[in-house]
Structure 1
Amino acid sequence: MSENNERGSFMKGAAILTAAGLAARVMGFGYRVILTRIIGAEGMGLYQMAYPIYTVLLVVSRSGIPVALAKLIADKIAAEKNREAYKIFRVARKMSFLVGLVVSIIMALSAKPLINLLSLDPRSYYAVLAISPAIFVVSIMASYRGFFQGLQDMVPTAKSQILEQFIRMFTMIGLVVFLVPYGLDYAAAGASFGAVSGASAGLLILLYIYAKRKENIFSFLQGGHDSVDLSTNNVVKRIVSLGVPITLGALVMPLMSLVDLVFVPNRLQAAGYMVREATALYGMFAAVAMPLVNFPTIITVSLSASLVPSIAEAFTLGKYKLINYRTQTALRLTVLISLPAAVGLFLLAEPLTEIIFAEPGAAVPLRFVAWGVFFIALQQTSTGILNGIGKTSIPARNLMIGAVFNGIINYTLTAIPGIGIRGAALGTTIGFAIAAFLNLYFVKKETSFVINSKTMILKPLFSVLLMGGFVKIFYNLLKNLMTINNLSYAYQISTFTTVAAAALFYFVVLLLLREIKYQDLSVIPIFGVRLANLLKKLGFLNG
């Protein structure tokens, strides 16, 4: 495979996952908007209380296995040890089944004690109970996703993501509408059960794809000339040695959410809020502000997933120049995408929260946590790079350090009446900033990666400053113009028109600064190649 094809394969994988992730996020955004309008911030607060418990236990059951699996299979395929790659998958699948089943049962049986221990709203019990079976299903699904990603085939994962979210969305909305007359606690439980139905659908399509391709998979993986020297115990040890640090790192993020869940409502009550007010404020932060912050990071999540097998392959083959290229490309795209997203959320916090969620009060925490988009994105991409070269313990440790700072800031500031929910948002932003910068230090140390300050700092900052000024001027002019003319939905139209115009303005600025590359556009599904060729013909791209 030529270097250009290798580069294209890496970017193509990321583009496929990004397209699927974007579709899934749009659907996820859609059901959150609908649910918030049906059950309000208080109901979303109850629904959201189940998730930190669920995600902590879910990480324990499955997070390390698919990433370790993708890396190990990519290593073996690169070394032409196809049979060993297949054995690794079979062992990992059994591990996922057993661990997922045990953890799912533990969550169901310990729902009430956990709620009491964490001093949560007792009404969240049914939501915690309803979501517990999803752990078992997601764990098995993760092993199949890791298998296909190890083969650097991102299509099965993409298909399962879309179907999972589609079924989840309809289940959640249907159950919430049916159960809301019986109380918010039952409605929140119905919303939580969507994770079970969605994961079941995602697993079924993966099993279907696997069965359909089984003959080709077997002929490829068993067609090598290598003998299987790996014992099951050795495979388990290797998966555990790689997977445990990854799990610990992945565990930090839901633990940060769990810290927020424990600290925020209680510390808000210490600041003078009643229980229902504290639950509603927590819902604004966790169920409105954070989904808006996490939405743009779908691209960096996809980059991270694609980076692990691609960098692992290059590392196994000793292609350090290719590692440097992939690192440079991933971090450059991370900065170019996440920085304007952070600025946009900061400047348009109030109209976005009001129009999308009908919760304008959520603009308060959103303005503080908006900058977390940039740091979360950097942390995710740099984690993928470090996991790809086998340094799985480094990002876990760095994220833990960030989580400690998040907890201290959260606990201290949220109880101050004049700060309140802003303290939780500020703690999240600073926690991820610390983790991101520590990761970047180790990426530079371990890969000899050299940061191009002109490409990765100066030009993006200049472009974002111009875009920020454009947003302020354009939004105010358009809103005033539409209001004067008494046009319907002036507020909504001016907001979303500004978002689209700002994105176009930023893209044009980057083109003029020669920061958009041919490869960046050509991997975009459907129209990417045509757009890249057109811009190259017009002289905006060098190729």
Structure 2
Amino acid sequence: MSTFLKGALILMAAGFITRILGFVNRIVIARMIGEEGVGLFMMTFPTLMLIITITQMGLPVAISKLVAEATAVGDHSKVKRILVVSLSITLTLSLIFTPLLIVFAPMLSEYLFTDPRTIYPLLAMTPIIPIIAISSVIRGYFQGKQQMRPAAISQLLEQVVRIGLIATFVGTMVPYGIEYAAAGAMVASVIGELCSLIYMFYAFKRKKKIRIRHQFLGQLVKGKGEMKELFSVSLPTTGSQMIGRLAWFFEPIVVTKSLLIAGVTAGVATSQYGVLTGYALPLLFLPSFITVSLSTSLVPAISEAYAKKHFKTMEHRLQEALRFCLVTGGLSVVLLYVFADPLMELMYGSTKGADFIKLLAPFFLFFYYQGPLQAVLQALDLAKAALINSTIGAGVKLIVIFALASRPEFGIYGAGLGIVVGIILVTLLHFATVLKKIPMTIYVRQYVWFTLICFIVGFTTIELYENFLNPIPVLPRLFIGMVFLTILYLTLLYAARLVKKEDLKRVPFVKKFF
């Protein structure tokens, strides 16, 4: 198995477990603080991600790319300078923006968000910023070395610690109000990230072959060339990420203010936003652990192939990643569409959010493609094009959200439609940009078969679940239905050669049957 696929599979396995643990966290939070509390949490979370994006400056991707290139030619001194420069930049920025967030938190909660209670989770999140700044540099180093195991273990550790603390922290704060409970959830996240950083630092100390403490300032002075290289990749990347984060930052503001125009009260708007972004969207984003894993592995893999001018290898790896996203994303879409109601009832004790899933699920196939395409653009030094694409998508998304959510007949559903419009537009723009650089064959027949299979599997499973399995209790009925759907889906894909014998042989527990 290639290093690219092996690294991707390690991250996928860890990502899947991490997402499952993350869902346990969300379920605990949702059942303890309800829709309104989740709304407070989700309204402030984009602010945290915006600050983290600023402090990281796109460096994790740049570090991964440059470390991979330096390692390929055996330049270990350059790797050392890359680490020194990156740590200096991220630490400096985090020490600037963390106090700024503390100072401006009251203003943000009072004037931008419609609910002043958001100040408590805003303040609780601030310690996480420098922690993530340091861990992102170390994670980028490991990814550049194509050593995915430390990053995977750190993700698992963070979720385990968080899930161990969140019930205690949230439960302790609930009597004081849901705003304090939401802040308690943020504190649990901070401690989880801290434990993850401690492990990453331990793994770095154990595996690294260089001593970055030796002549730190001297290495920093010598690293002017590396700083220029890092910024040449990171600044355009940061611009692209910044557009997305700014759009996400303004999203709860635009949504809640649009709902107020539509006649919805502030408290109800917070609850509705909580259902959309805290209940429905996390399920729709679940398969992104696959796309994130592929994207993380694609950056150094494509960079290495591009440096060696192996264009056939670049196309093969991209086609491989996109087909994998199509197969796994399609399974997720059909599962979520068919079982939206029982899944929401099982996890949150309510079917609220199921309508959002049914409405938005088919369009999220575009989102599952977006990660690998973005990674390829970064690896090919086309981050500027990605920035332009993201800017267009973000602007259109906010315009559509305001246009639809402010109308009573759409309401919060208009916000959901605006989100998918932005996703589809950015994905198509990314794909068009990649095609200009990497000539690719588009297998139309493959997509026709895929669409037909999804319809057949969905219709058949709905008939089975609602008619033949109706007398069975909900939990075993759901389990049987999901197993049946998965087996039928994979069987038809194998028959249509969308899943091949070679793919199955790569799976450790399956290859022995072939």
The 2-side partners of 1:519 and 1:428 are apart by 37
Q: 1:323 maps to what in 2?
A: 314
Shift of residue 479, structure 1, vs aligned partner: 4.3
Counterpart residue number, 1:515: 498
1: CA distance, partners of 2:49 / 2:466? 41
**Residues 250-277 of structure 1: CA deviation (Å, up to 9, x unaligned):** 2233333323210222211222222211
Verify: 1:475 aligned to 2:454, yes or no: no
Greater Cα offset, 242-251 or 144-153: 242-251
27-36 or 205-214, larger mean C-alpha shift: 205-214
TM-score scaled to structure 1, two decimals?
0.90
Deviation digits for residues 369-417 of structure 1, max 9, x if unmatched? Answer: 2234211111111001111122112222212211111111100111211
Q: Does 1:364 align with 2:343?
A: no
1:252 paired residue among 218, 243, 261: 243
Superposition deviation, residue 230 in structure 1: 9.6
State the shift of 1:346 in Å: 2.6
Which residue of structure 1 aligns with residue 90 of structure 2? 96
1:498 Cα offset (Å): 1.7
- Matched with 1:22 is 16
2:486 pairs with one of 503, 514, 527: 503
- 1:317-466 matches, within 5 Å, as 317-455=308-446, 457-466=447-456
Root-mean-square deviation (CA), in Å?
Answer: 1.9
Deviation at 1:324, TM superposition (A): 1.1
2:201 is the alignment partner of 1:179? no
Matched residue SS, 1:105: helix
Instruction: Show structure 2 runs of 5+ residues with no match.
Output: none
Mean Cα displacement is larger for which, 150-159 or 74-83?
Answer: 74-83
Indicate whether 1:188 and 2:182 are aligned. Answer: yes
Q: Contact conserved, 1:371 with 1:429, CA < 8 A, in 2?
A: no
**Aligned position for 1:531:** 510
**Residues 55-102 of structure 1: CA distance to partner in whole angstroms, max 9, x if unpaired?**
111111115111010001111122332321222122112212211222
Shift of 1:197: 0.7
Amino acid at match of 1:35: I
| Partner amino acid, structure 1, of 2:455 | L
In the aligned structure 2, how far is the partner of 1:268 from the partner of 1:337? 35
Write the distance in 2 (CA, Å) between the matches of 1:119 and 1:297. 28
For 2:90 and 2:6, the matched residues in 1 are separated by 28
Structure 1 residues not aligned, in runs of 5+: 223-227, 483-489, 537-543
Aligned to 2:4: 10
- The farther-off stretch of 321-330 and 245-254 is 245-254
Task: Quote the offset at 1:492 in angstroms.
Answer: 3.2
Query: In terms of mean alpha carbon deviation, does 202-211 or 71-80 score higher?
Result: 71-80
Please state if 1:165 is matched with 2:155.
no
Alignment size in residue pairs: 508
Distance 1:308 1:280 in 2: 39
Partners in 1 of 2:154 and 2:116 — Cα distance? 34
- Tell me the distance in 2 between the aligned counterparts of 1:200 and 1:94: 19
Give a deviation string over 1:496-526, Cα, whole Å, max 9, x none.
Answer: 3322321121111112222223453444xxx
Which of residues 188, 198, 206 in structure 1 aligns to 2:200? 206
1:210 Cα shift? Answer: 1.3
The aligned residue for residue 302 of structure 2 is 311
State whether residues 84 and 220 of structure 2, in contact with CA within 8 Å, keep that contact through their aligned partners in structure 1. Answer: no
Q: What SS is found at the alignment partner of 1:110?
A: helix
Task: Please identify, of 204-213 and 491-500, the stretch whose mean Cα deviation from structure 2 is larger.
Answer: 491-500
Q: Which residue of 2 aligns with 1:39?
A: 33
Could you say if the C-alpha distance between residues 253 and 471 of structure 1 is closer, same or farther in structure 2, counting changes exceeding 3 Å?
Answer: farther
Helix, strand or coil: the match of 2:142?
A: helix
2:138 match: 144
For residue 80 of structure 1, what is the aligned residue in structure 2? 74
Q: Is the 8 A contact 1:79 1:316 kept in 2?
A: no
TM-superposition CA deviations, 1:8-39 (whole Å, max 9, x none): 21111111111111111111100101110111
Paired residue secondary structure (1:371): helix
| Identity across the alignment (%) | 30
**SS of residue in 2 equivalent to 1:318:** coil
Aligned-partner residue type, residue 493 of structure 2? L
Q: In the alignment, which residue of structure 2 is the partner of 1:266?
A: 257
Which amino acid in structure 2 is aligned with residue 533 of structure 1? K
C-alpha distance in 2 between matches for 1:173 and 1:391:
44
SS at match of 1:34: helix
Counterparts of 1:346 and 1:249 in 2: how far apart (Å)? 31
Contact residue 478 and residue 494 of structure 1 kept, 8 A: no
Amino acid at match of 1:463: I
User: CA contact under 8 A between 2:85 and 2:220: conserved in structure 1?
Assistant: no
Name which of 203, 207, 210 aligns with 1:218: 210
Shift of 1:283: 0.4
**Residue 229 of structure 1, CA deviation:** 13
Instruction: Tell me if structure 2 keeps the 8 A contact 1:49–1:120.
Output: no
- Deviation, 1:332, is 0.9
Could you tell me which amino acid in structure 2 is paired with residue 134 of structure 1? I
Name the SS for the 1:374 alignment partner: helix
SS of the residue 2:441 aligns to? coil
